[in-house]
């Protein structure tokens, strides 16, 4: 029996411009058919309705996905007023309607209440788990359940324009776990007119901007060609915002073996002091690099550096 191929040993990131109508998992599957990687995953789920930045990690880059998920996200979305749906977007069934419509002044006056650390209840049709079950599965089965509010960070929320009295377009800059569908729903409730998402585009995730993204149809056209590989970014791209510790060759070798390294000389203490300034939280993960290449994700423990994830690059 022929031995099954394990796939190509790719390491790096692809920034996909996800088209509408696909789940993030389906989009990942399409990318895997182009590259045939040994290992791949995506950094940040997008609803089927949504388009835009979907970072795809190959190989060792999958070890850095959590840093992408924790990064700043930028969305542009359109809200339809006067209609509440079961999914808080246009893919759900109409649950209620009203003739009320907000004016520009009312919308702009309401926006500051949704900026900063806010409590937000996720949509019932979301991947949040309820006693081990995904909320969207329970919702599809007609189960009655409540989701607890979560504290999320919205850095900025602005009104872009109003194409007509039924619609308004917004841009949001936010942190991990913020749902634009919940923002639309809650903003509509605050304005007394209901609201749901009819268009959603993600412009940025961490270091990955839409300017770096390639549409899926363009990528598919490059299938099985060397040109497809030119769109793969280095693993370190996702780590550009994380403080770095420069290693000696010997230290890099020990970290690759999963060993702790001690920084005790006077020169070492200078490095520790600089690192403490850049990453004052001693539990924070930093990048340990040798010759400009990341070797491991590490944590400081006093004068010791302990590996969290070793990167085999």
Pairing outcome for strands 12-18 and 214-215: parallel
Report how far Cα 206 is from the mean position of its chain's Cα atoms.
7
Which is catalytic among the residues 47, 88, 89, 186?
47
Residue 172: how many CB atoms within 10 A of its CB?
A: 21
Integer CA distances (angstroms), 210 to 17, 23, 28, 202, in order: 7, 18, 17, 8
Neighbours of 155 (CB within 10 A): 14
164 is catalytic: no
Between CA 68 and CA 239 the distance in angstroms is 8
CB-based burial, 71-86: b 16+ in 10 Å, e otherwise: bebbbbbbbbbbbbbe
Instruction: Kindly tell me the sign of the dihedral angle through the C-alpha atoms of 146, 149, 155, 160.
Output: positive
CA angle 27, 7, 28 (to 5 degrees): 5
Residue with tokens 């005790």: 264
Query: Which residues are tagged catalytic?
Result: 47
């Amino acid at each position: 029996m022929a031995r099954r191929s394990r796939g190509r040993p790719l390491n790096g990131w692809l920034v996909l411009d996800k088209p509408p109508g696909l789940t993030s998992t389906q989009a990942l599957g399409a990318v895997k058919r182009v590259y045939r990687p040994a290992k791949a995953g995506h950094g940040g789920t997008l609803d089927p309705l949504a388009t835009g930045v979907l970072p795809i990690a190959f190989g060792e880059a999958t070890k850095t996905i959590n840093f992408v998920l924790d990064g700043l996200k930028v969305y542009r979305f359109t809200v339809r007023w006067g209609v509440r749906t079961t999914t808080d977007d246009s893919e759900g069934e109409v649950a209620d309607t009203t003739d009320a419509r907000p004016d520009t002044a009312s919308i702009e006056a309401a926006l500051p209440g949704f900026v900063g650390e806010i409590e937000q209840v996720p949509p019932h049709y979301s991947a949040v788990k309820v006693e081990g079950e995904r909320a969207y599965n329970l919702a599809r089965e007609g189960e009655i359940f409540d989701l607890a509010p979560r504290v999320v960070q919205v850095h900025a929320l602005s009104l872009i324009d109003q194409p007509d009295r039924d619609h308004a377009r917004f841009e949001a800059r936010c942190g991990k776990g913020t749902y634009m569908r919940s923002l639309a729903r809650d903003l509509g409730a605050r304005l007394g007119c209901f609201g749901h998402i009819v268009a959603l585009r993600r412009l940025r995730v961490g270091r990955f901007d839409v300017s770096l993204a390639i549409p899926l149809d363009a990528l598919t056209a490059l299938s099985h060609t060397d040109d497809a590989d030119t769109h793969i970014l280095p693993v370190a791209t996702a780590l550009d915002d994380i403080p770095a510790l420069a290693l000696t060759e010997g230290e890099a070798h020990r970290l690759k073996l999963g060993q702790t390294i001690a920084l005790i000389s006077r020169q070492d203490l200078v490095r520790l002091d600089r690192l403490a300034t850049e990453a004052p939280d001693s539990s924070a993960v930093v990048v340990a690099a040798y010759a400009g290449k990341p070797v491991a994700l590490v944590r400081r423990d006093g004068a010791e550096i302990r590996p969290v994830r070793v990167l085999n690059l």
